[in-house]
Every structure is written in structure tokens, then in C-alpha cells.
Amino acid sequence: MNLASASLASRQWRLLSLALMTAIGAAACSAGPGTSTVVIVVRHADKDTIPKDDPPLTPNGVARAQALASTLEYAGVEVVITTQLIRSQQTGHPFADRAGVAMITVPRGTDIAKHASLVAAEVRRHPGKTILVIGHGETVGPIIAALGGPHMAEVCLGEYSNFYTLVLDGGDRPPRFIQSAYGAPSAPHTSPCQ
């Protein structure tokens, strides 16, 4: 990549980040001060293939975790929820360390519906806060649904750049939902996942 391309990519990333933070702020403020909980849900960053049971992030994944930390710098995130798996932890640490926020671990077992329910319960323990949830390909959709958001297809193997925001206003109102992206583009969604 030449210097001009790198500069253009950097400007585009900053504009996307600004647009995203503006959307999050506007969504949270439109319900009135202190009444909304903002939940940002992402899949862990790009993972390696070994060891099979609990692989770490790849170098691209480390860069994506840093991009997430930069994207959220002014979002006011006060709570970070991850799983016990190393790829989820490594995705959350750059932001949590930079912001001085402790990460809360909600263990992911084999029962995805139960995990989604436990994450939603943890989110509800922090009303009025902005919360980052780092899930997995098979848990992102169920977590969003457990929070009252739309039902979504599973996030496919190569999809890492999706950024989902729910604004929970409380009461019987359905959450507002914004889907965007962060970091380097990842593979487009295919249905069904291959």
C-alpha cells in the first residue's frame, strides 16, 4: 500500500468512526438523559486455527482489537463483557486497558441460549450505561435477540468487522438497532454460512 492509499484509508476509517459515534450518541440521547442503555455487540477479532480448542488472535485480529479500542475511544463504554475464551479476552483487553475498565467474564458453554440469557442478564445489571459485549459467531445473534433485538443469522466464519448497537430505552419499547462495521473489511455474509 502506498502512502496516498494509506492516508485515504486512514481518513475513511476516521470518518466511519465519527459517523458511528455520532449515531450511538444520537440514539442514546433521543430517549432522554440517563434512561437508555447502549449495548455494542461484536464478535471476537480474527482468530487463529491452532490450538483448535481455544485459539488466540491472529496478527490481523490483534490489529482489529486495536481498531475496536480506537473506535470506542469516545463512546463512553463503562462495562466490557467477554467470555472466558482467549480470543474474546484478547479482543476486549486493548479497549479495557486503555479505558481503565475491568472486564466481566460470562462463561460460554455449549448451551448457546443459556449463554445469551446470562449475557442479557449481566447487561441488565448496568442500566443507563454503555456496554461492550464481545461474543462469538454463534452467540452474537442470540445475544442480540435476548436483548430484544432482531433475530439474525449466525455470523459466518470470516465475518469479524460487524458492529451492532442496541439502544435499550426500557419499558415496552423495542430496542433501536444499528448495524455497522469497524476495522478492516472482512468477508461478506453468506447464507447459509459455508
CATH of the domain at 53: 3.40.50.1240
Q: Are 134 and 92 in contact (CB under 8 A)?
A: yes
Q: Is residue 191 part of a domain?
A: no
Q: Is residue 194 part of a domain?
A: no
Q: Is residue 188 part of a domain?
A: no
pTM of the model: 0.84
Question: How much is the average pLDDT of 156-180?
Answer: 93
Task: Specify which residues 103 forms β-bridges with.
Answer: 80
Residue 171 vs residues 35, 36, 92, 175: alpha-carbon distances, Å = 10, 10, 30, 10
Q: Is residue 155 part of a domain?
A: yes
Q: Is residue 192 part of a domain?
A: no
Question: How much is the average pLDDT of 1-15?
Answer: 44
| Residue 34: per-residue pLDDT | 53
Q: Are 64 and 160 in contact (CB under 8 A)?
A: yes
Q: Is residue 190 part of a domain?
A: no
Q: Are 48 and 56 in contact (CB under 8 A)?
A: yes
The string of pLDDT tens digits covering residues 72-131 is 999 999 999 999 999 999 999 999 999 999 999 999 999 999 999 999 999 999 999 999
Residue 109 vs residues 40, 96, 100, 105, 106: alpha-carbon distances, Å = 22, 23, 28, 12, 10
> Environment class of residue 106 by beta-carbon count within 10 Å: exposed (0-12), middle (13-18) or buried (19+)?
buried
Residue 78 is part of which domain span?
Answer: 3-181
| Domain total of the chain | 1
Quote the DSSP letter at residue 57.
B
Q: Is residue 27 part of a domain?
A: yes
Residue 20 vs residues 64, 91, 93, 140, 180: alpha-carbon distances, Å = 16, 19, 21, 19, 8
The string of pLDDT tens digits covering residues 46-55 is 999 999 999 9
Categorize the per-residue pLDDT at 1 as very low, low, confident or very high, splitting at 50, 70 and 90: very low
Q: Is residue 76 part of a domain?
A: yes
Whether 5 shows a pLDDT value over 90: the answer reads no
> Environment class of residue 130 by beta-carbon count within 10 Å: exposed (0-12), middle (13-18) or buried (19+)?
buried
